[in-house]
Structure 1
């Protein structure tokens, strides 16, 4: 049996469920967004959903141990998502990356170096676009995080902590604005509501009409935002 489970930040993971005679719940990572879960036969659906909600940290830790998929060092993807639209990757004779929608032009160097430059380029654009957007929503909601920064996390889109502030995954630069706005507001609402109570979701839904659509977009396209991670090269 397979089903999708949504983590607190809206990240969807695939659960492959199996029943076993063992008394303990056993988790194994299948990929960076899927887990195999072996559960005792007496655990019913309601108990399982409760366990998943209460053990999100264990789910994230399991995902972090997943082996990274590899592709050929010479394999450049045909396109990537940027600001919610597909951009075709092409080559030009200049030393720097040039953005000419719907194209992103890369220097004529081997793909591993191109990929490193592209990750740097997208991270810079994320700092220019995501963080001001987060600051804008913070002012609108009259909320002040301890800090605002980007994250290179593999298992969440955003995180909010009282001491360290809010961090947004730089890969969200590939998402459309309504998804970015949802993640910003979601994390900001954790300042007055650190849990996922009814009050928290009421506040989120009050400030963005796009909660459902944003979750659906991330469910459908979220894995594509990690396209540049699918090599053996060192992460930025």
Structure 2
């Protein structure tokens, strides 16, 4: 049975991603900052007959929490097949590049960028034990530097400074990871769940949570012939699904 750890998984897209992977037979470690909320999320899934799930308390902003989660998971399994770095924050709005407080940038980067690095480094040893290891970094279509600089792009005017910068940095880090492990069995990609109606955006997005989660699940379950080092976004590239960086 394949195993997956998902951060920020007690609600919204992360929670639905867990549900869909459980339906495909994965054993899910449901990562969340609040242990109580994690327990409640697990109970909800188990009430749906999805029993192969348990919570893992983890705060990607806190190195000690990540270390503790790695120890906890290591007591349960010697192999991790999939790591989905889903936890993220927006930093609020507005975020003008010249007057947004530096603390906002630091906070957003700590979660969206440095948290991903810390998680990947902490769990890479367990991933290396998998015959088909997968890492999915959840990004945003707004992280495309090519499109952010294109006045004809439909989201051209949407530029929350710290959020855009953090996702562009995440995309760059993913390219590096995929290159570093290019001659291995790893598949490492970024996925844009697309503009989805969630608490994250006050439910302003037109997309649905199940559709958003399905995009993440697709990359998490690539077979040996699947791509690596790609930026998937149905929103940015509806015909090919591969976004320009």
* TM-score normalized with structure 1 length: 0.27
Structure exhibiting the larger radius of gyration computed from Cα positions? 1
* TM-score normalized with structure 2 length: 0.26
